[in-house]
Structure 1
Amino acid sequence: MPLSSVQPAIDALVQAWCDHRTTDAAPFAPAIASAAQAYAVQQGVAERLAWFTPGAPPYWKTGGPSRQAVQTHARLPERGIWHSPASTDWPFAMRGIEAEIALRLAVPVDAALAAGLDRDSASQLVDAMTVAIEVVDSRWTQGGQAPDLLKLADLQSHGALVLGDWLPFDAEHDWATQRCRVEISGAPAQTFAGTHSLGDPAWVLAAWLRHATQGGQVLPAGSVVTTGTWCGVLQAKAGDTVVATFDGIGSARIAFSA
């Protein structure tokens, strides 16, 4: 897609990332009228900021509000992928908290393989899972109230990703009864059970793999995808420590020192 129509949005987001500030979304809404344009902005920003190491297994986020909705996707900057326990003084505009499960590919996947996948066959390509905390942030001043396509252009409001320890993936795991607990400093722990929006983190795999292998891309073994929140978006602040625990799977922790 020609970048001329989306170049102003790319420029604005690059500047916001570099200056650690937000920018008004309103002027860019008319130009970002399709998901294809939003994904072009994602790619343009990533290229300008040199986020990705050639050949390295990539990190992605994907998900949707229901199985009937179209999933959205974003490849994540390597600079914001941290192993738990993590501590950061990054000046986030927001510190939204999503407790998630991340999955890791065991084998390379190309477009030909991805084209025929469903939930069960895609699950066979995964070797490991872990607890993840996604920090939700925005380069738009409107934050979560920005237009959906502009949020998609801005990495679907991604800030950082904290990953716990990996353990073998069980394709038959009982996600309907899976319990998740989120603790944020100074607030009572919140518990959630069976609350993944698609009912199963592995449900996202087929659509994600088809998106990520477009244009001849091959996802190498070791590629990671985080699969959507179990707790909605909770709010943390500077000075808070956040712990997400999934019974029988593990936990992840992040401390916000600023």
Structure 2
Amino acid sequence: MDPTTEAVEALVRARRSGAAVPAVTLADADAAYQVQDGVARALGWFGGHAPRHWKSGAPSAAALQTHAPLPPAGVWNSPADARAWPFHLRGVEAEIALRLRCEVDADTAARLDVAGASLLVDAMCVAIELVDARWAEALDAPPLARLADLQSHGALVLGGWVPFQPRDWPSQACRVQIGSAAAGEHRGTHALGDPAAVLPAWLRHATRGGRRLAAGTVVTTGTWCGLPMAAAGDHVHVDFPGIGTAEVRL
């Protein structure tokens, strides 16, 4: 069995059984994206339509951005109750999500820079991405295996939408409260400096193969708080002053 097929079968088995499986070694990012697509088809996530929710990002401006479509069953509005959701891990990423105002096709995406792509966004919200893993090695699995596993995505919580507009992102504050632990205070800590910096690469990736993204498609853009871990029962509250809040019970 080739590694791509092996990884698809392993991840489908993990999601259906709830049990983690050993990571599969993949050759390159193209293989990891083929695994993402294969798992989505096997589990019928998108019904032949383009995904409506995505994650995109990179650890630095110099690093390659990576992308993953998000299963719709694990996307919730805030306040959310995730106590019945099956988690192996409960990593917390405080993020800003962006929403497209119009349909985008591959020809349009190919021409976009950050400024042009930003004109296609109508709204933003505070988001909490919950990080999880289907691999037994969890976050120690090889990077390509984690990419194949939707870049270790668990679930997504979306706060209230507000109009998208330029902000002083280097000065933007973010406060993260997890359970009874001391709140984390962050300022200007997005890895790319501006959440909209993910847009051109994400749009080109998401429209590959002739796929069109519908108006209202959402992308979450990377953590402002690193990856603090929560526990079952914790209440997580994220506040970006001037933008909004999101919260979830784990």
Settle same-fold status: TM greater than 0.5: yes
Number of residue-to-residue matches in the alignment: 249
Map residues 103-114 of structure 1 onto 2, 5 A cutoff: 103-114=98-109
Residue number in structure 2 paired with 1:212: 206
TM-score normalised to the size of structure 1? 0.94
- After superposition, the CA RMSD in angstroms is 1.1
Identity %: 57
Matches within 5 A, 1:123-142: 123-142=118-137
Q: Distance in 2 between matches of 1:55 and 1:167?
A: 26
Pairwise CA distance, 1:141: 1.0
Which of residues 137, 152, 155 in structure 2 aligns to 1:157? 152
Q: Which runs of 4+ in 1 moved over 6 A?
A: none
Q: 1:222 to 1:149 in 2, by over 3 A?
A: same
Q: How far apart, CA to CA, are the structure 1 residues paired with 2:233 and 2:106? A: 44
What residue is the counterpart of 2:9 in the other structure? 11
Find the aligned partners of 1:166 and 1:73 in 2 and give their Cα distance. 22
Q: CA deviation at 1:61?
A: 0.2
Q: Which runs of 5+ in 1 are unaligned?
A: none
Deviation at 1:173, TM superposition (A): 1.0
1:122 is displaced (CA, Å) by 0.4
Q: What does the per-residue CA deviation read over 1:7-50, in whole Å, with 9 as the maximum and x for residues that have no partner?
A: 1111110010011121111xx21xx1100000000000000001
Structure 2, unaligned runs of 5 or more = none
Aligned-partner Cα distance in 1 for 2:131–2:52? 19
Q: TM-score, normalised by structure 2?
A: 0.97
Report 1:79-228 matches (<5 A).
Answer: 79-88=73-82, 89-170=84-165, 172-228=166-222
**8 Å contact from structure 2 (residues 56, 222) kept in 1:** yes
Q: Would you say the 8 A contact 2:50–2:213 is kept in 1?
A: no
1:149-198 alpha-carbon deviations (Å, 9 max, x no partner): 0000000000000000000000x211010000000111011110000000
Task: Specify the alignment match of 2:36 in structure 1.
Answer: 42
